[in-house]
Amino acid sequence: MKIKSLYKTIYDDLVSKIMSGYYKEGQKLPSEKELDQLYHASRTPVRQALSKLESDGFIYRLQGRGSFVSDNRPKQLWTRMTGFTNYYLSEWEKITSRTIDVEKVPAPAAISPLLKLTDGDSALLTKMTRIRFYEGDPIIYLQHYLHPRFPVESLQSNENFFSIAEILNEEFQVKVARADEEIEAIMADDYLKDVLQLDDAHTPLIKVTRTSYTAADEPLDVNVYYVNSKRWKFEVSFRQSEKNFEFF
Amino acid sequence: MKIKSLYKTIYDDLVSKIMSGYYKEGQKLPSEKELDQLYHASRTPVRQALSKLESDGFIYRLQGRGSFVSDNRPKQLWTRMTGFTNYYLSEWEKITSRTIDVEKVPAPAAISPLLKLTDGDSALLTKMTRIRFYEGDPIIYLQHYLHPRFPVESLQSNENFFSIAEILNEEFQVKVARADEEIEAIMADDYLKDVLQLDDAHTPLIKVTRTSYTAADEPLDVNVYYVNSKRWKFEVSFRQSEKNFEFF
DNA sequence: AAGTGGTCTAGACCACCCG
DNA sequence: GGGTGGTCTAGACCACTTC
């Protein structure tokens, strides 16, 4: 049993106090000195916790004034990571998934470079096709390409999983540290119209190509998915504490 | 003349050494102890610098092994903030802008809540319409809605600026700390087809609604823009150092 | 002047990886 | 066992805001 670090304990406690409304939007948190005493800690772990709260969007800090609960704090921790908004706030459980197909395929030309596969590397990779539903309506069509170094045979048998990251973590002790997404607008073709049950003759979709990596920059999988953005709002949040960044 | 903090000096030096290739992709950086000596500093500022390098995507750190230059390090610092890829790497100067129109308008219903304007607040806000070109071809159509507390009269006269953030910073000493974007796929209407010079009868566009905020969560402006994603690739990067996040 | 967050020192011990 | 990054202590001084 690993003991949680002190700063993580402080972070978790503050998150729960913010989420529960003990500290309300816009409210000032205790000063760093007061938090030192509250948690019987020195300033370093307290500041580590506050720093993480800030980068996770729970609070903002103003020099000379204090730390305050953010008005736009994340409603769910997964929001920014999945890229999907909490539009259906706390209705996450209404989302279901269905695995359509699992097969071994040679890497498509568009996928190989993203997984850093060399031309000579002809290893088959696992391709998985899934659909996500909201209240029974199909909203996202997904294709997953797993890196060949993961011989995932268990996918066929294990139908009722939620995330690929979950499986990678449990079966291979691999953690996702980073993900890049490329976003395009495309027209739905006949097949997508069918699976996503689109009525209009010309429906635009968001196509996202997501590549996920370990902390050591090794690609884990490529995920191409098509979103009916009329049903789902796609949301992204940028933070830049320090420098004034260029804008439109 | 303000003196730059020590950790920022170390950060800037390491960035330039990575960008220049002095430290190459995948290469191990000097250990924290060695950096202490190199910069005649204690561990705190060195770790602050490394921490920022990591969150900015320049390096990754592995416990027990060292810090390494990332294979996917940012080619330009602005990339992740603007949301646009360096697809036309180092050709940023080929991007030009034209201001079509600047006017005072009542806040549209879709914009008011984003700027946190109350119903009673009937102040006019500055609306600016612009187009961005790449090598003379129009690729982005933008509408800017500035919060009423900025009475920007200088926009009319100052035609050749680059970013709104620049003006907010210089005229009002206001810094952008955060931006949220909502992304949709839409069909180009006749007007957009015209200004973006789209040939196809049915061209899908990416519509982005971006709201920018100060560090204190005050909305500064709303920016609605339409992108021809056939010409521009839209790119987003997510990082999560700590916890294993949920995935598709 | 008092209070706050931002930076920095000079140590210490722990957890993890590798030879 | 030696080297690395991760956590933590107990201080110090600085920059900024508020009164």
- In this structure, what token pair is assigned to residue A77? 């921790």
pLDDT at A156: 57
Domain that holds residue B56: 6-69
For residue B180, give the chain A residue with the closest CA: A237
A101 token code pair: 């197909």
* pLDDT at residue A239 in the model: 67
Number of domains in chain A: 2
Nearest CA to B73 out of B6, B39, B23 is that of B23
Claim to verify: residue B45 and residue B106 sit in the same structural domain: no
Domain presence at residue B154: yes
For residue B243, the chain A residues in CB contact (below 8 A) are 77
Per-residue pLDDT of chain B (248 residues; tens, 9 = 90+): 557 899 999 999 999 999 899 999 999 999 999 999 999 999 999 999 999 999 888 999 999 999 999 987 665 444 444 444 444 444 556 677 788 888 899 999 999 999 988 876 677 898 999 998 888 889 899 999 999 888 766 665 555 565 677 677 777 778 878 888 888 999 999 999 999 999 888 899 999 998 888 888 899 999 999 999 887 777 777 665 443 344 44
Residue B246: per-residue pLDDT: 43
What DSSP designation does B62 have? E
| Interface contacts A/B by beta carbons within 8 Å | 211
- Residue holding tokens 């170094």? A149
Q: Could you say which residues of chain A have pLDDT below 70?
A: 1-2, 73-94, 120-121, 152-163, 166, 238-248
Closest-CA distance of chain B to residue A176, Å: 6
Same domain, A57 and A171: no
Same domain, B214 and B136: yes
Q: What's the CA gap between B221 and B125, in Å, rounded?
A: 10
Per residue in A138-165, is it b (16+ CB within 10 Å) or e — as a string?
A: bbbbbbbbbbbebebeebeeeeeeebbb
Q: CA nearest B226 in A: which residue?
A: A185
Q: What is the CATH number of the domain that holds B56?
A: 1.10.10.10
Residue B243 falls inside a structural domain: no
Q: Which nucleotide is nearest to A8 (CA to C1')?
A: D7
Q: Which residue of B has its CA nearest to A211?
A: B237
The Cα A63–Cα A48 span in angstroms is 16
pLDDT in tens, A97-133: 788 888 899 999 999 999 988 876 677 888 999 998 8
The pLDDT, as a whole number, for residue B77 is 46
| Same-domain check for residues A97 and A184 | yes
pLDDT of residue A216: 87
- Position B241 in a domain: no
For an interface test with B, the pick among A59, A67, A141, A183 (most B C-beta atoms closer than 10 Å) comes out as A183
Q: How far is CA B11 from the centre of its chain?
A: 20
pLDDT score at A93: 60
Any domain includes B239: no
Phi, psi of B164 (to 5 degrees): -65, -40
| Strand D, CB < 7 A, residues 23-42 of A | 40-42
Residues B36 and B108 in one domain: no
Half-sphere exposure of B18 (CA within 13 A, CB side): 31
Nucleotide nearest residue A61, measured CA to C1': C5
Residue-wise pLDDT for A15-26, tens only, equals: 999 988 999 999
Residue B151 lies in a domain: yes
Looking at CA atoms only, how far is residue A9 from chain B in angstroms? 13
In a domain, B242, yes or no: no
Q: Would residue B14 count as lying in a domain?
A: yes
> Considering the domain boundaries, does residue A105 fall inside one?
yes
Looking at residue B231, what is its pLDDT?
78
The minimal CB distance from B163 to the residues A61, A165, A248 is found for: A248
Q: Which residue of B lies nearest to A28 if distances are taken between CA atoms?
A: B216
Asked if the Cβ–Cβ distance from B245 to A77 is below 8 Å, we say yes
Q: Are residues B137 and B223 in the same domain?
A: yes
Kindly report which amino acid residue has its CA closest to the C1' atom of nucleotide D14: B5
Cite residues whose beta carbon is less than 7 Å from strand C. Answer: A 2-3, 29, 31-34, 43-44, 47, 50, 61-67; B 5-8, 40-45, 48, 62-65
Residues A83 and A189 reside in one and the same domain: yes
| Nearest chain B Cα distance for residue A142, angstroms | 8
Rounded distance between C-alpha atoms, residue B31 and residue B47, angstroms = 10
**Do B140 and B83 share a structural domain?**
yes
Residues B53, B84, single domain; the answer is no
| Domain at B220, CATH number | 3.40.1410.10
Q: Which of A59, A129, A225, A247 to mutate to test the interface with B (most CBs of B within 10 A)?
A: A247
Q: Are residues A99 and A196 in the same domain?
A: yes
Tokens of B105: 């308008």
| Strands B66-69 and B125-134, bridge-based pairing | unpaired
Same domain, B106 and B61: no
Give, as ranges, the nucleotides of chain D with any atom within 7 Å of a protein CB: 2-12, 15-18
Whether B102 and B207 share a structural domain:
yes
